Amino acid sequence: MMKSYDWVYVLGVVMVMSISVVWGVRYPVATPKPPQPFTPFVTVYPCDSDPINWPNATHVSNFRLVDNSSLAVQQTDVSMCYDETYLNVKADCFDNNIQSPYSQCNQDLFNADVFEIFLAYGPEVPTKYLEIELSPYGVLFVSKVANTDDFCTGVTDSLIECGASGIVYNATIQDNEWVGILQIPLSLIQETSNLAEPQPSPQLPLYRINMYRIDIPASQEKEYSCWNPTDTSPPCFHKPSMFGTVQFGSNNYDL
């Protein structure tokens, strides 16, 4: 036979359990959302009349290794501005061991020293985007990419003949660096994103972009570096969810 204080204990336990159940029904515990990947946001302004020094350009640097473990040894400083026709990109690629055997359009430039930029029109994570590569010796690679898996395994691409792309490009080799310049038609970015015309919006145009280097420093292993690292090992640049956002900072041009 249970004593009186035993009944009090049992009753207390039942009441606590009942309150817990009711509280859980009325105030369910929120399931934490997975963290969203960090992606940088920069504003790019109209180009100044000085095409050499680019005084009005937006500058980004401090490229990190693709796995985000550290800064790259061979750094990249990128300058960007735009006009009514082009997104203008200048890449200062510091390099103590310049290597690239390629001389023809759309060869496998990614097997040697190269600067790469992936671009899409609009604010969303793209599934279609433009891939452009430039070698230290001024050789170009251009491709339209479809990627529904947000990873290299989901990539299919279609090469674009370099002359037909409308891209203006060159590269020069200097002491311990090479400098690549790309003038990328805005219309080409939009067409690659399946947009015949820019979408009407009260806001300034937005683009999703990431930039990369592949390089072999003297007496060191090959480096894969990114403006915004994709946190992948082995290296994979094709992660559109890690593309940064670029906004045009003026509406002087009809875009």
Q: Which CATH number characterizes residue 129's domain?
A: 2.60.40.1190
- Tens-place pLDDT, residues 56-104: 899 999 999 999 999 999 999 999 999 989 999 999 999 999 999 999 9
Q: Residue 26 has what pLDDT?
A: 45
Give the gyration radius of the chain's Cα atoms.
26
Q: From CA 204, how far away is CA 200, in angstroms rounded?
A: 10
Domain count for the chain: 1
Q: Identify whether 204 is part of a domain.
A: yes
**Is residue 148 domain-resident?**
yes
| Backbone phi, psi, residue 229, to 5° | -60, 145
C-alpha closest to that of 89 among 171, 5, 188, 17: 171
**pTM for the whole thing?**
0.82
How many Cβ atoms sit within 10 Å of the Cβ of residue 40?
14
d(CA 38, CA 33) in angstroms, rounded, equals: 15
Q: Is residue 241 part of a domain?
A: yes
Residue 181 near residue 189 (C-beta atoms within 8 A): no
Distance, C-alpha 145 to centroid of its chain? 14
Whether 89 maps to a domain, the answer reads: yes
For residue 46 the two structure tokens come to: 């109209």
Query: Is 183 among the domain residues?
Result: yes
Does 53 map to a domain?
no
Cα–Cα distance for residue pair 28/34, rounded to 1 Å: 18
Residue 205 dihedral angles phi and psi, to the nearest 5°? -60, 145
Tokens of 241: 């969810």
Name residues whose C-beta falls within 8 Å of residue 34's C-beta, 6 or more positions apart in sequence: none
Mean pLDDT, to the nearest integer, of 234-243? 96
Report the run of H or E that residue 144 belongs to, with start and end. Answer: strand 140-147
Separation between Cα atoms, residue 217 and residue 210, nearest integer Å: 22
> Can you give the pLDDT at residue 56?
85
What residues make up the domain containing 89? 63-248
> Strands (DSSP E) along 32-75, which ranges?
41-44, 58-60, 64-65
pLDDT of 212 strictly over 90: yes
Task: Confirm whether 94 is domain-assigned.
Answer: yes
Question: Mean pLDDT over all residues of the chain?
Answer: 85
Q: Are 88 and 80 in contact (CB under 8 A)?
A: yes
Asked, for residue 7, whether it belongs to a domain, the answer is: no
